[in-house]
Chains A and B, each alone.
Chain A
Amino acid sequence: MTRAGPNDHLGVLLSTYATSVILAATEGHEGEGGFHTPSISDFFPSAILFEGTIFQIDRLWIIRIIATLVLLSVFVIAARRAKVVPGRFQAGIEFLLSFVRVQIGEEIMGKERSRRFVPMLTTIFLSILAFNLTGVIPGLNLAGTSRIGLPLVLALWVFVTYWAVGIRKHGLGGYLKSNLFPPGVPWPIYAILTPIELLQLLIIRPGSLMVRLVANMIAGHIILVLCFAATQFFVVDSAGTGLMVFGALTLPAGIFMTLFEVLVAFLQAYIFALLAAAYINMSLEEEH
């Protein structure tokens, strides 16, 4: 799985894990008969309505709408019914909200500074979590974040926010100066450092946020499809042949990977929100 084919056009931005899986997927497999090869086309299902316009509706659109409705219903109901003495449901919802507020906001930015950004971090964390989890929900089976649009919008929001708060606090000049010319560095080093820092501010930070998320979701989906398609092939299509034995391997692997994807869904939402908080916090740091 780790050999680099001529197809490794995905660039160095991907983690080796995601890269190798995607490469394996695009290269296809030697499966014959009913074996469904997971591929990138899974993430671009054919349009249902308005094909070719920006209003194009497809399966992923439906998945995102369902995830949005479920997320909002759960939280709106919780907020409507919120009482001073919480029940179990409210306690669970409050746990999620306080996790974002305390573990992400206050941990990274401190209590005072984080207050302004808690709604943003909460929206980011919970929507990514909801869209990630659709990847393991039977019937949906595709993460809402596995196509670049959603991660990109969120990364753009973070990008605009950290530029805006940085400029508002230090002025454009002050913000650029403190970020591009960090003090305590001998001046010739700036020749190398400044372009790197500029690249960080403009591309690498938002780019890594969205690519990390989308690549993880793509990879997770491909592995799950691989496990379950292989199980289908070995157990059903090859029924009666010796190949059925391999089903005993691929089915538990599929179950394990499903659970692993749940963990990844939480982890990626956490990492995205955590880094968003960290980037915003960097813009707010006092000048050194």
Chain B
Amino acid sequence: MPAHSRAVVVAAQTDEPQGIELFLPAGYDLFWSSVVIVIIAAVFYKMILPRMNAVLDERASLIEGGIAKAEAAQKQADEALAQQQELLAEARSDAAKVREEARAEGTAIIKELKVKASEEAERISETAHRQIEAERQAAAVSLRTEVGALATDLASKIVGESLEDSARQSRVVDRFLDELEASQTVASTKEA
């Protein structure tokens, strides 16, 4: 049997669609296909895709949020660092200033104290000089009177009553004193 006639027989036996009929749907085929597609589309439109998109959006916003948060934290950290460095620099300059001031102050105090000390020393030595001078004069004055009396006593003891004449006595004493003074001056100039 040639292939062609056999195919015709087969087609006739099974009542299968031929040619263009293959592309013209039977009513039941169209009906059930529509039902199936409508169900699939409805579930995808109403449930699956909105749910999946919500999850995707949530993920995207989470990632964006995370990035924003990290950026904010980074910015904060940078600001803190800058602030810290500023404070540090400020503290350093403050410290330097304080040190400088302290040094200047110290120098000033030392200078002042030195001046004060030398003034004090001068004053003390001047007082001492004055005191010494005063004591010396007092000593000289008392010496003059005492030595005069002593010498007169001594001389009258030595020469007896002969010197009772007051005029003479006075002359003798004066001469004696002048000599004494002269010898003293000679002695002091010699000392000097």
What's the Cα separation between A59 and B107 when bound, in Å?
114
**Residue among A119, A150, A210 making CB contact with B36, cutoff 8 Å:** A150
- Contact in complex: B16, A84 (CB < 8 Å): no
Q: Which residues of B contact A44 (CB under 8 A)?
A: 14, 16-17
Interface residues of A: mostly helix, strand, loop or mixed?
A: helix
Among B18-26, B117-125, B137-145, the one that faces the other chain is B18-26
**Residue among B16, B20, B31, B48 making CB contact with A75, cutoff 8 Å:** B48
- Contact in complex: B28, A148 (CB < 8 Å): no
Among A63-71, A168-176, A220-228, A275-283, the one that faces the other chain is A63-71
A263 on the interface (CB 8 Å rule)? no
- Contact in complex: A211, B14 (CB < 8 Å): no
Q: Which residues of A contact B4 (CB under 8 A)?
A: 5-7, 27
User: Given that A123-B40, A153-B33 are known contacts, is A39 also in contact with B48, CB under 8 Å in the complex?
Assistant: no
- Contact in complex: B28, A123 (CB < 8 Å): no
A-B contact count (CB 8 A): 145
**Residue among B3, B26, B33, B51 making CB contact with A5, cutoff 8 Å:** B3
Q: Which residues of B contact A64 (CB under 8 A)?
A: 32-33, 36
Q: Which residue of A lies closest to B38 (CB)?
A: A153
Q: Which residue of B lies closest to A147 (CB)?
A: B29
What's the Cα separation between A123 and B39 when bound, in Å?
10
Q: Which residues of B contact A187 (CB under 8 A)?
A: none
A180 on the interface (CB 8 Å rule)? no
Q: Which residue of A lies closest to B58 (CB)?
A: A84
Among B5-13, B74-82, B184-192, the one that faces the other chain is B5-13
Q: Which residue of A lies closest to B3 (CB)?
A: A27
B45 on the interface (CB 8 Å rule)? yes
- Contact in complex: B29, A148 (CB < 8 Å): yes
A259 on the interface (CB 8 Å rule)? no
Q: Which residues of B contact A148 (CB under 8 A)?
A: 22-25, 29
- Contact in complex: A97, B52 (CB < 8 Å): yes
What's the Cα separation between A54 and B32 when bound, in Å?
8
What's the Cα separation between A68 and B39 when bound, in Å?
8
Q: Which residues of A contact B54 (CB under 8 A)?
A: 82
Q: Which residues of B contact A37 (CB under 8 A)?
A: 10
A149 on the interface (CB 8 Å rule)? yes
A271 on the interface (CB 8 Å rule)? no
What's the Cα separation between A93 and B45 when bound, in Å?
16
Q: Which residues of B contact A55 (CB under 8 A)?
A: 28, 31-32
- Contact in complex: A40, B47 (CB < 8 Å): no
A197 on the interface (CB 8 Å rule)? no
Q: Which residue of B lies closest to A90 (CB)?
A: B55
What's the Cα separation between A44 and B20 when bound, in Å?
15
Q: Which residues of A contact B33 (CB under 8 A)?
A: 64, 149-150, 152-153
- Contact in complex: A84, B62 (CB < 8 Å): yes
**Residue among A26, A72, A85 making CB contact with B11, cutoff 8 Å:** A26
Interface residues, chain B, CB within 8 Å of chain A? 3-4, 6-7, 10-11, 14, 16-20, 22-34, 36-37, 39-41, 43-45, 47-49, 51-52, 54-56, 58-59, 62
Interface residues, chain A, CB within 8 Å of chain B? 5-7, 9-11, 13, 26-28, 30, 37, 39-41, 44, 50, 53-57, 61, 64-65, 68, 71-72, 75-76, 78-80, 82-85, 93-94, 97, 118-120, 122-123, 126-127, 147-150, 152-154, 157, 210-211, 214, 218
In addition to A27-B6, A50-B28, 14 A-B residue pairs with Cβ atoms within 8 Å of each other are: A7-B4, A10-B20, A30-B3, A40-B11, A40-B16, A54-B28, A55-B31, A68-B39, A75-B43, A84-B59, A150-B33, A150-B36, A152-B25, A153-B30
Pairs across A and B, CB under 8 Å, 18 listed = A9-B18, A11-B20, A13-B23, A30-B3, A53-B27, A55-B31, A56-B26, A64-B32, A68-B36, A72-B39, A75-B48, A79-B52, A80-B51, A83-B55, A120-B41, A123-B37, A150-B37, A152-B25
